[in-house]
């Protein structure tokens, strides 16, 4: 089930092993890494999610498109339980998020347990949310040390490795505000990776960036995609979706209108709403 | 040049005749030949006049301080470092320290209760702040001082159940104890609101990011939110400490030998009111200065990461200035010698 080979170092040994992590043809297909079933969520009288279903296979990239207010961000925030939904369930790698089942009852998990579950789910925010009073390195080591209890030296070494990977090794001792927006977002991605999550969620990762900085962040995400990281990306970058996505999901009015490979959804949309949206953004 | 001619007809109806006139009248402007010219800086005669007037008034006041016999600097000198006064200063500092520590510890607890998700704790904390902000400090002090009227004995045990140990209230809560308790409880109500204000001013995205990373809850508060909240808390907190420090003079009603009480004792005996008040004033100013300097450095510490380039400390600034002056005098001496 742990098909997550999210970096070259981890990928090599995986490739050498004869028992390939990906199910060969004929075997029963592995359950999706992310399963979303019937999510409903209202803010006051305003229903933002109206029964969303979604499956994200391990190692795949799902790009969620849709007009603003369509529930994309809420869906993403519900997946790691930052938003508590009114109805519906989310499971990551077969583990129910936010609840425990015993017999025919569901118990809400304590905050401490939800926090532990979240360490498996990396989240990258639109406006980075780096900790401004901590250095870049401290931003990366905080959660591995305090949430996973990793030794400091180990967390440090891993953090430097990840900074190298996003091309910011020399910024380890800088404070976030000393970096450009693109650099900050790359640090935020490295921070999410520092927990070795099973899935990475991106909430409009390039929307707060100047146009010339968008590319560097998308390049990092593309690298991750090639390394086989399971990702859900909410974005308005259609070009990126076409290039990187395995599945494009189009949402509107709190429901998934259609989903499929980018060629289908982006080039031959079946629904009028998708066509109207694409006509506006393309 | 071409821009000047094109803007001219536009500028005239636009209401900026001055700009248009110069643009039209001036000969072709060659910016290259300006390089060698001397720049005459704008003069500000009124700025100088106002500054001078202020200096004159201040000088007059200073002259009065020095020459008016009413200030009685001889007495001031005798008592400024007298043992009784020094001991009283120590007592004032002590009261301030206890009041600050008790006030901010309790204040932090009350703020945490107010910010908690428990409706009971929230309500109790709100009630605490309401009560202790409402009662004048002096009333509270006198009340605590007279607590033994209300409760003769003070015991530990199970609520509404058996008692394990008992104390005479008078023995436990002396004048100093009552003063510290009063100051601390009073301070806690204000400290709680200051701390809460600092915490709610931190971007909610910070806590959310920490939660998304699975950082444990106490660590979210201690490592992520509080250090950032400190920036907002510190200026008001320093205000509170300084005002508490001077506010300790209120406990003179309980005949505690702090600075203001002691000064009154002395002038009650000698009749030299003004110099003794100056003794107290100068001590209050001195200690406030120390606190203010401390505040600067603590704030600086918590501002890390807030600016792209942290400003230099005053010490670094002074050193840079000294270096600059030295360099300048060195060149001045060198050129002066040659000419």
Decide which of B334 and A134 is more confident.
A134
pLDDT at B166: 73
Residue B294: pLDDT above 70? yes
Query: Where do the H-state alpha helices sit in A86-180?
Result: 111-118, 136-146, 152-165
- Number of residues assigned to chain B: 339
**B26/A contact by beta carbon, under 8 A:** no
Structure tokens, B276? 């003794």
What φ, ψ does residue A44 adopt, rounded to 5°?
60, -135
**B116/A contact by beta carbon, under 8 A:** no
Span B50-71, pLDDT tens digits: 999 999 999 999 999 888 888 8
Give, in degrees to the nearest 5, the angle at Cα A54 between A49 and A58. Answer: 140
pLDDT at B174: 78
pLDDT at A131: 96
Sign of CA dihedral A172, A178, A182, A187: positive
pLDDT at A45: 92
| Residue A110 to chain B, least CA–CA distance (Å) | 11
Query: Where do the H-state alpha helices sit in chain B?
Result: 2-11, 17-25, 45-67, 73-80, 83-115, 119-134, 137-145, 147-150, 169-172, 175-200, 204-212, 217-219, 226-247, 259-270, 273-302, 314-338
User: For residue B219, what is the nearest residue in chain A, using CA coordinates?
Assistant: A146
Mean pLDDT, chain B, rounded, equals 85
Structure tokens, B134? 């409402």
A121–B224: do the CB atoms touch at under 8 Å?
no
Strands A87-92 and A247-252: unpaired
Distance (Å, whole) CA B204 – CA B41: 49
Burial class of residue B55 (count of CB atoms within 10 Å of its CB; 0-12, 13-18, 19+): exposed
**B177/A contact by beta carbon, under 8 A:** no
Structure tokens, A17? 């092993």
Instruction: Give the mean pLDDT of B291-295.
Output: 93
DSSP letter at A227?
T
B65: helix, coil or strand? helix
A115–B227: do the CB atoms touch at under 8 Å?
no
Query: Where do the H-state alpha helices sit in A202-265?
Result: 211-226, 238-244, 262
Instruction: Compute and round to an integer the Cα radius of gyration of chain B.
Output: 31
B33 pLDDT tier (thresholds 50, 70, 90)? confident
DSSP letter at A98?
S
Q: Which residues pair with A55 in a beta bridge?
A: A35
**B216/A contact by beta carbon, under 8 A:** yes
Q: Which residues pair with A49 in a beta bridge?
A: A41
A146–B307: do the CB atoms touch at under 8 Å?
no
Mean pLDDT per 10-residue section of chain A, whose length is 282 residues: 42 40 56 94 94 95 94 94 93 94 92 95 96 96 96 96 95 95 96 96 94 94 94 94 95 95 94 93 80
Distance (Å, whole) CA A160 – CA A137: 7
Nearest CB partner across the interface for B214, out of A119, A127, A177: A119
Nearest CB partner across the interface for B217, out of A111, A133, A134: A111
Distance (Å, whole) CA B335 – CA B314: 31
| Residue B201 to chain A, least CA–CA distance (Å) | 14
Nearest CB partner across the interface for A115, out of B214, B223, B304: B214
Instruction: Show Cβ contacts of residue A55 under 8 Å, excluding neighbours closer than 6 positions.
Output: A32, A34, A35, A36
User: For residue A145, what is the nearest residue in chain B, using CA coordinates?
Assistant: B215
Which residues of chain B lie closer than 8 angstroms to A80, CB-CB?
212
**Cβ atoms A235, A209 nearer than 8 A:** no
A127–B208: do the CB atoms touch at under 8 Å?
no
Residue B20: pLDDT above 70? no
Q: Beta-carbon neighbour count of residue B78 at 10 Å?
A: 14
**Cβ atoms A200, A224 nearer than 8 A:** yes
Distance (Å, whole) CA A79 – CA B239: 45
Q: What is the dihedral of CA B151, B156, B159, B164, to 10 degrees?
A: -120
DSSP letter at A94?
T
Of A5, A1, A234, A232, nearest in space to A122 by CA: A232
| Residue B321 to chain A, least CA–CA distance (Å) | 26
**B265/A contact by beta carbon, under 8 A:** no
B26 pLDDT tier (thresholds 50, 70, 90)? low
**B217/A contact by beta carbon, under 8 A:** yes
A125–B209: do the CB atoms touch at under 8 Å?
yes
User: For residue B209, what is the nearest residue in chain A, using CA coordinates?
Assistant: A129
Residue B3: pLDDT above 80? no
Distance (Å, whole) CA B108 – CA B113: 9
B209–A131: do the CB atoms touch at under 8 Å?
yes
pLDDT at B332: 63
Span A236-270, pLDDT tens digits: 999 999 999 999 999 999 999 999 999 999 999 99
A175–B305: do the CB atoms touch at under 8 Å?
yes
Distance (Å, whole) CA B199 – CA B229: 5
pLDDT at A241: 94
| Residue B220 to chain A, least CA–CA distance (Å) | 10
pLDDT at A14: 40
Residue B17: pLDDT above 60? no
Query: Where do the H-state alpha helices sit in A29-91?
Result: 72-79
**B32/A contact by beta carbon, under 8 A:** no
Most A-contacting residue of B117, B207, B212, B304 (CB-CB within 10 A), to test interface: B212
DSSP H or E segment with residue A27: none
Structure tokens, B205? 């995205």
pLDDT at B2: 42
**Cβ atoms B305, A134 nearer than 8 A:** yes
Q: Which residues pair with A39 in a beta bridge?
A: A52
Span B74-117, pLDDT tens digits: 999 999 999 999 999 999 999 999 999 999 999 999 999 999 99
B209–A175: do the CB atoms touch at under 8 Å?
no
Distance (Å, whole) CA A259 – CA A112: 35
Nearest CB partner across the interface for A116, out of B214, B304, B307: B214
**B204/A contact by beta carbon, under 8 A:** no
A147–B223: do the CB atoms touch at under 8 Å?
no
Span B138-194, pLDDT tens digits: 898 888 888 777 777 777 777 777 777 776 766 667 788 889 999 999 999 999 999
**Cβ atoms A262, A241 nearer than 8 A:** yes
Instruction: Give the mean pLDDT of B19-44.
Output: 73
**Cβ atoms B244, B183 nearer than 8 A:** yes
A1: helix, coil or strand? coil
A195–B205: do the CB atoms touch at under 8 Å?
no
pLDDT at A10: 41
pLDDT at B336: 54
A131–B213: do the CB atoms touch at under 8 Å?
no
**B223/A contact by beta carbon, under 8 A:** yes
DSSP letter at A131?
-
Name the percent of chain B lying above pLDDT 70: 87
């Amino acid at each position: 089930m742990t098909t997550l080979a999210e970096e070259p170092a981890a990928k090599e040994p995986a490739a050498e092993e004869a028992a390939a992590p990906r199910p060969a043809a004929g075997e029963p297909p592995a359950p999706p890494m992310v399963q979303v079933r019937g999510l409903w969520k209202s803010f006051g009288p305003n229903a933002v999610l109206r029964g969303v279903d979604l499956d994200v296979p391990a190692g795949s990239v799902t790009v969620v498109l849709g007009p603003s207010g369509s529930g994309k961000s809420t869906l993403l925030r519900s997946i790691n339980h930052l938003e508590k939904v009114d109805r519906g369930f989310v499971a990551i790698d077969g583990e129910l998020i936010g609840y425990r089942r015993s017999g025919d009852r569901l118990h809400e998990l304590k905050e401490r347990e939800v926090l532990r579950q979240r360490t498996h789910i990396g989240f990258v925010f639109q406006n980075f949310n780096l900790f401004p009073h901590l250095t870049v390195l401290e931003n990366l080591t905080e959660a591995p040390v305090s949430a996973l209890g990793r030794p400091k030296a180990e967390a440090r070494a891993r953090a430097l490795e990840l900074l190298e990977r996003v091309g910011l090794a020399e910024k380890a001792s800088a404070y976030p505000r000393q970096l450009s927006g693109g650099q900050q977002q790359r640090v935020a991605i490295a921070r999410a990776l520092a927990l070795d999550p099973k899935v990475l969620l991106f909430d409009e990762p390039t929307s707060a960036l100047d146009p010339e900085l968008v590319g560097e962040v998308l390049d990092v995400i593309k690298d991750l995609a090639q390394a086989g990281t399971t990702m859900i990306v909410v974005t308005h970058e259609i070009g990126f979706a076409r290039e990187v996505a395995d599945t494009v999901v189009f949402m509107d009015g709190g429901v998934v209108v259609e989903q499929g490979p980018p060629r289908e959804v982006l080039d031959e949309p079946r629904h009028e709403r998708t066509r109207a949206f694409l006509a506006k953004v393309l | 040049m071409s821009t000047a001619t094109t803007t001219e007809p536009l500028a005239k109806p636009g209401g900026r005749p001055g700009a248009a006139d110069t643009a039209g009248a001036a000969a072709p402007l060659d910016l290259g030949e300006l390089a060698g010219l001397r720049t005459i800086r704008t003069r500000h005669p009124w700025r100088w006049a106002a500054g001078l007037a202020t200096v004159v008034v201040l000088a007059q006041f200073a002259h009065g301080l020095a020459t008016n016999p009413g200030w009685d600097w001889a007495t001031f000198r005798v008592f400024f470092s007298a043992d009784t006064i020094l001991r009283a200063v120590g007592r004032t500092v002590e009261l301030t320290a206890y009041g600050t520590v008790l006030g901010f510890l309790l204040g932090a607890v009350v703020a945490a209760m107010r910010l908690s998700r428990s409706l009971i704790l929230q309500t109790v904390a709100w009630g605490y702040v309401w009560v202790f902000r409402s009662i004048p400090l002096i009333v509270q002090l006198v009340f605590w001082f007279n607590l033994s009227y209300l409760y003769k004995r003070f015991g530990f045990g199970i609520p509404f159940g058996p008692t394990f140990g008992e104390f005479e209230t008078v023995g436990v809560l002396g004048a100093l104890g009552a003063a510290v308790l009063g100051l601390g409880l009073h301070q806690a109500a204000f400290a709680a609101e200051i701390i809460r204000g600092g915490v709610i001013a931190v971007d909610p995205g910070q806590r959310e990011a920490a939660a998304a990373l699975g950082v444990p809850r106490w660590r979210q508060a201690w490592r992520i939110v509080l250090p950032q909240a400190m920036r907002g808390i510190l200026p008001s907190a320093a205000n509170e400490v300084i005002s508490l420090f001077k506010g300790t003079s209120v406990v003179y009603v309980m005949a505690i030998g702090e600075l203001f009480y002691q000064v009154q004792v002395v002038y009650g005996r000698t009749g030299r009111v003004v110099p003794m008040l100056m003794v107290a004033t100068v001590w209050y100013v001195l200690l406030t200065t120390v606190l203010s300097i401390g505040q600067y450095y603590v704030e600086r510490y918590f501002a890390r990461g807030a600016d792209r380039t942290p400003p230099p400390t005053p010490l670094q600034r002074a050193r840079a200035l000294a270096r600059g002056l030295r360099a300048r005098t060195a060149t001045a001496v060198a050129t002066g010698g040659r000419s």
